[in-house]
Amino acid sequence: FVKTMEDNQNNDIDVKPIVSLPEVVIPTNEENEKEMIKLRARLFRFRDGEWKERGTGEIKLLHNEENHAIRVVMRRDKTLKICANHFLTPDIELQKHINSDRDFNYSCFADFTDGQPQSELFALRFATVENAQLWKNKVEEAKLILKTKCSIYAEEFLKSSDADTDSSSEDDLGSSDKPSTEENAENVIEDIQKLKIEN
């Protein structure tokens, strides 16, 4: 029994699904954040005395415009599983790798990739030197936003910059106007004794 090509083309097969599934929108928790930069990179994590690859994909800086917090988020290609998820802080420093201009090392206080916050040492490798420089420039721009606008860091940064200007203006006054360390210690001891007497 032989079927011809025409017979196969004339047979209309109608397949209907047994269960219909509605389309569901899955939130990424990035909806309220503005993307500052997105580049392809490879991420490594330092564990057990060696660098281990964490994933390859797009790494992003995400800026929350309400509280001005900035996150670093990286998802692996194809699976879209998160391999880096931590807040950027003003003290994060990108250090160039010794042998390459397209690699950076940095540490973060709390990475939330595995659910629990954990201190991590990361290495990033970009495809080109230009992309590495773009990333570094955006990180510096983001750190400036944190220092000036983010409610967590801005107040602390302003206090430290005021203290720096106060100390530099005190240096301009000359050493004769400043009390000595011994005089300061004596004044502190007197203040403590007064407090004890008053109590």
92 in any annotated domain: yes
22 in any annotated domain: no
115 in any annotated domain: yes
- Count of the separate structural domains present in the chain: 1
Provide the strand spans (E) within the chain: 33-47, 50-64, 70-76, 82-87, 95-96, 103-111, 118-126
**pLDDT tens, position by position, 23-52:** 888 787 788 899 999 999 999 999 999 999
Residue 184 banded pLDDT, cuts 50, 70, 90: very low
User: Which residues span the domain enclosing 133?
Assistant: 33-148
**pLDDT tens, position by position, 138-157:** 999 999 999 998 887 877 76
Q: What is the CATH number of the domain that holds 102?
A: 2.30.29.30
Residue 116: CB partners within 8 Å, gap ≥ 6? Answer: none
pLDDT of residue 30: 84
What is the percentage of the chain residues whose pLDDT exceeds 70? 73
Residue 61 banded pLDDT, cuts 50, 70, 90: very high
114 in any annotated domain: yes
Pairing type for strands 95-96 and 82-87 reads unpaired
125, β-bridge pairs = 42, 103
Task: Write out the two tokens for 54.
Answer: 């964490």
25 in any annotated domain: no
Residue 21 banded pLDDT, cuts 50, 70, 90: confident
166 in any annotated domain: no
By 3-state DSSP, what share of the chain in percent is helix, strand and coil, each rounded to 5? 30, 30, 35
Other residues' Cβ atoms within 10 Å of the Cβ of residue 58: 16
26 in any annotated domain: no
8 in any annotated domain: no
